[in-house]
């Protein structure tokens, strides 16, 4: 299948006799010969880097850092970030090679399709749906929490009944802010990919400015004594901390879902993926150094540790601005996550594995608008009526599974197609791809048994759908017939 693509000189887009977009010239792979419209290529390397930073810097740096330091690694959380960044860099390099080699929408689903075939691609695509929808719901719920706290800080308050999922003990019935922010972001995404990129760029600039302010102001309150003992939980604590904060880095995979909207994807996708990861890793490490220097690590076990440290050192105004930056940061994460999921629906529907409605492209905005609206609707319902503890548990295992398959895909394609054009190559292959797969699988093994059970149930449900609908409507199988 992949040979047909690579023979077309790096995916040159040609018009078939029906006037539709044909990425292959043959229509054999992924049913692309029958598209009614293509996605608009408007994103450059800078746009992708902004989207990557927007996806990565969010709940991880504003929420996870403090508890991970307090309960897992202590001041050595700096080393945890470094280890997690290295592990994630291995996966990012694998993504970069495949994204440059196969610049089509769909992320790990598309790569698995090219490397391992349709059924494996279906499984990973189905699991990516789980990852993106539940992760987006969790982010929306987290945004609601920060937004409600900010309103309280200025003397305003939303009725308690409208601030959380149904819970008689807490007096909550619906999380209205989570629903509203999801619908607003969905509308922005429907309007166009460039508009979405510009919006993400605004939020990225705001949150980076606030983080730089935190580093400057916070550094004046550092006490060297707070870094002692540096390894209160030992090296196992460092590893445990890395396992937790690893998920703060994973937003870069959303960049590969917009491959068909990137100008010169063979060059710009690797730049965007790697640059955004390097920038975010640097910020994570610097914030961890300053945060653990401002307060003893055991006092950082809150979901707003950065603001807590600023309040404790008398920087109240900076703490208030930080809350604004946190909201901006989480908004940009939600935007990129909601941007990724519809494009996976789009790719799978284009292959016939989902109904054609998911592959509809808006004639004016040139975005997968129906898939975006369906995704936004599902996320808003989950965010409005489901506790964060339920939705957050399911997001991580699908991501790690995708990373494992992408890493193995690099090794497999290097073996089966050694002479295929590769605009970007993972260095020291197959060592780095194998290390990437091993690291991700190791982290998967550390997840709770209940998460594995839910993952297995979701996967089995997906197989029922595939054999009940997908395999009968698959374009590959129709061509073979």
The set of residues, in sequence order, having a beta carbon less than 8 Å from that of 209 and lying 6+ positions away, is: 325
**Residue 421 Ramachandran class (φ > 0 left, ψ -120 to 50 alpha, else beta):** beta
481 residues of the chain, pLDDT tens digit each: 555 444 433 333 333 333 323 333 333 333 333 333 455 676 777 878 887 887 788 767 777 788 888 888 899 999 988 888 888 888 888 888 887 787 776 677 888 888 888 888 898 888 888 878 888 887 888 788 778 777 876 777 788 898 888 888 778 899 999 999 999 999 888 876 555 556 667 777 888 888 899 999 999 889 899 998 999 988 888 887 877 777 677 677 767 666 667 777 777 878 888 888 888 889 989 999 999 999 998 888 766 678 878 888 888 888 778 878 788 778 878 887 888 788 888 888 888 898 888 878 877 777 788 888 999 999 999 889 887 656 655 667 777 888 888 899 899 989 988 888 888 888 888 999 999 999 888 877 767 788 788 889 989 999 999 999 988 888 876 666 5
Distance CA 474, CA 349 (A): 9
The set of residues, in sequence order, having a beta carbon less than 8 Å from that of 15 and lying 6+ positions away, is: 21, 22
Distance CA 272, CA 283 (A): 17
Residue for token pair 């607003």: 184
What is this structure's pTM? 0.74
In this structure, are residues 255 and 276 in contact, taking their beta carbons and an 8 Å threshold?
yes
At 220, list the tokens.
Answer: 């004046």
The set of residues, in sequence order, having a beta carbon less than 8 Å from that of 451 and lying 6+ positions away, is: 393, 394, 396, 397
DSSP 146-194: HHHHHHHHTT----GGGBSSSBTTTTB--BHHHHHHHHHHHHHHHH-HH
> Residue 157, Cβ neighbours under 10 Å: how many?
10
At 282, list the tokens.
Answer: 């640097």
CATH class of segment(s) 41-480: mainly alpha
Range(s) for CATH 1.20.1740.10 in the chain?
A: 41-480
């Amino acid at each position: 299948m992949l040979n047909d693509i690579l023979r077309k000189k790096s995916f040159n887009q040609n018009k078939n006799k029906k006037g539709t977009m044909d990425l292959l010239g043959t229509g054999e792979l992924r049913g692309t010969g029958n598209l009614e419209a293509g996605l608009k290529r408007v994103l450059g390397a800078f746009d992708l880097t902004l989207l990557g930073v927007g996806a990565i810097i969010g709940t991880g740096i504003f929420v996870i850092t403090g508890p991970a330091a307090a309960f897992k690694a202590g001041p050595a959380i700096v080393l945890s970030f470094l280890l997690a960044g290295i592990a994630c860099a291995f996966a990012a390099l694998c993504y970069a090679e495949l994204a440059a080699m196969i610049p089509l929408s769909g992320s790990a689903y598309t790569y698995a399709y090219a490397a391992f075939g349709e059924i494996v691609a279906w499984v990973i695509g189905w699991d990516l749906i789980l990852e993106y929808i539940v992760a987006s719901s969790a982010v929306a719920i987290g945004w609601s929490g920060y937004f409600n706290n900010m309103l309280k800080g200025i003397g305003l308050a939303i009725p308690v009944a409208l601030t959380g999922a149904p819970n008689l003990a807490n007096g909550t019935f619906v999380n209205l802010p989570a629903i509203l922010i999801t619908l607003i972001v969905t509308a922005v995404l429907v309007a166009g990919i460039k508009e979405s990129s510009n919006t993400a760029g605004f939020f990225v600039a705001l949150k980076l400015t606030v983080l730089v302010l935190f580093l400057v102001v916070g550094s004046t309150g550092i006490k060297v004594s707070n870094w002692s003992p540096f390894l209160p939980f030992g090296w196992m604590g460092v590893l445990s901390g890395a396992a937790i904060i690893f998920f703060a880095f994973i937003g870069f995979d959303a960049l590969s879902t917009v491959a068909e909207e990137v100008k010169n994807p063979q060059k710009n996708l690797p730049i965007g993926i790697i640059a955004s990861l390097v920038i975010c890793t640097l910020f994570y490490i610097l914030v961890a150094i300053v945060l653990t220097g401002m307060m003893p690590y055991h006092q950082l076990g809150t979901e707003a540790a950065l603001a807590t440290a600023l309040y404790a050192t008398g920087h109240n105004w900076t703490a208030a601005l930080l809350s604004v930056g946190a909201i901006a940061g989480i908004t940009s994460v939600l935007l990129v996550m909601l941007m990724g999921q519809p494009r996976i629906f789009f790719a799978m529907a284009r292959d016939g594995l989902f109904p054609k409605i998911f592959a509809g492209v808006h004639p004016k905005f040139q975005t997968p608008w129906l898939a975006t609206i369906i995704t936004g609707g599902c996320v808003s319902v989950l965010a409005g009526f489901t506790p964060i503890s339920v939705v957050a548990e399911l997001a991580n295992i699908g991501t790690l599974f995708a990373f494992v398959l992408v890493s193995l895909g690099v090794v497999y394609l290097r073996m089966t197609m050694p002479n295929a054009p590769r605009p970007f190559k993972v260095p020291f292959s197959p060592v780095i791809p194998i290390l990437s797969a091993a690291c991700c699988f190791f982290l998967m093994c550390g997840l709770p048994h209940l998460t594995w059970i839910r993952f297995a149930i979701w996967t089995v449900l997906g197989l029922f759908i595939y054999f009940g609908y997908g395999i009968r409507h698959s374009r590959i199988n129709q061509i073979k017939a």
